[in-house]
Structure 1
């Protein structure tokens, strides 16, 4: 008697179909054992194929009284109203959360250009219709809600479209997370939040095959941080103007350096430039040379 063979597929049905094709059998002629139903993973990451073991049924065995029915995979969980995501019983610690998302996303982060940092206008894109904006907001909110839920947090996603402002040259979709104990999603100087934003942009762009300006925030953190950086820039510029000596600020991500550059772009007494590499890149404020 032939030994059973193992076959794989995206789901149980596909694995069975592949096994029957290879062995030249139909369903009534085969004995099928489901080893694993597989897993879709998280947005396609970490997925595992379904596995089944198939062997020819013994010819002298009595035919089954009933046809074996292979149960279908369980249906996907329905979206919850208002994008409310539920937190598992075990709460994740802040440090593993930040470290996990920083490590996973950092490898995909693009190089930062000085032109983007200083606020050069972005290339114009076709404006979406109101219906397209609504669909994009729904898709992005669902993806962000799923990511946050899988990280172990309970949060509500509020999606709003905003006109261009000091930190965005184009109309953008703001996804603001509201809930309790969400500080770990911000991380040190907003690093975890920036990586979470990049991840959501990446997933949306993979679905739509075009770039969309999506901003992820937690309880209005970005607005408060922007105000703090603008005040820091003005105080530092005043110090440079009074002393005539250059001043280097602490290292910042590109989005925060951009705020410093924009705040002081038209300052009469100082100019700004960036120096350093990678995570050590920072803004220097220098006295403006008088003509």
Structure 2
């Protein structure tokens, strides 16, 4: 490839990330190109209303760099994550776009930073029980003293998940099914809910009476519905108004 007039425009959430992506695509070091910032971008409030940064990379003249040496360990390091990391996460689970994983991880990490919460964030794809063709993004958050992020009846966690989902949706241009788990809380809670669903279904069959469960947020009610959707003797329905909406387990009418 001729370097004399070669340019490359890159769009990314930040200028530094755009530079890193460009260098990675070209396989060269930072000192071999001039960087022209076309748009510094804007983050907006919590990422909403944000505008991505846009840069142009142009090879420097051959006189200033007569021999293109491969990047060494002493080459300048751009202080951003490399685009290759999310691909490894995608390979160990359900197939999906690694760029979405990177966006989800970055958005949740930024929100936690704004909340002054120190934690590690890892995003991966998992099977979506409701839509097997579209895998769900699972963002796992680990750290110390993170219970404040869960809140009463998962209210804080659900709010964090809702805001993060909106931002990721805006960044990638379409809706992405996503769930956030804090220190394995959702997995533990889901196991408890599934066990309770089966136990209450047995009680409904044994007593012949409908069973009304405690008020739950929508994501927890969905777990109950999914667990019992193929039960041969009972069915489920949600009743009441938010935030006190409940799941009721009802005996099926026998023909």
- The equivalent of 2:246 in structure 1 is 282
Alignment of 1:3-14 (within 5 A): none
Deviation at 1:152, TM superposition (A): 1.6
Q: Distance in 2 between matches of 1:168 and 1:220?
A: 23
- The equivalent of 1:34 in structure 2 is none
- The equivalent of 1:43 in structure 2 is 46
- The equivalent of 1:272 in structure 2 is 236
Alignment of 1:232-271 (within 5 A): 232-271=196-235
Change in CA separation of 1:235 and 1:40 when aligned onto 2, cut-off 3 Å: closer
Unaligned runs of 5+ in 2: 1-41, 51-77, 83-94
- The equivalent of 2:154 in structure 1 is 190
Deviation at 1:269, TM superposition (A): 2.2
- The equivalent of 1:160 in structure 2 is 124
- In the alignment, is residue 151 of structure 1 matched against residue 115 of structure 2? yes
Cα deviation 1:110-132 (Å, max 9, x = unaligned): xxxxxxxxxxxxxxxxxxxx7x7
Change in CA separation of 1:289 and 1:159 when aligned onto 2, cut-off 3 Å: same
RMSD: 2.7
- The equivalent of 1:223 in structure 2 is 187
Unaligned runs of 5+ in 1: 1-38, 48-76, 82-129
What is the number of equivalent residue pairs in this alignment?
175
Higher relative CO (CA 8 A, sep ≥ 6), structure 1 or 2? Answer: 1
Structure 2 counterpart SS, 1:230: helix
Larger radius of gyration: 1
Deviation at 1:189, TM superposition (A): 2.1
Say whether the 8 Å CA contact 2:48–2:167 is kept in structure 1: no
- The equivalent of 2:144 in structure 1 is 180
Change in CA separation of 1:45 and 1:267 when aligned onto 2, cut-off 3 Å: closer
TM-score by length of 2: 0.62
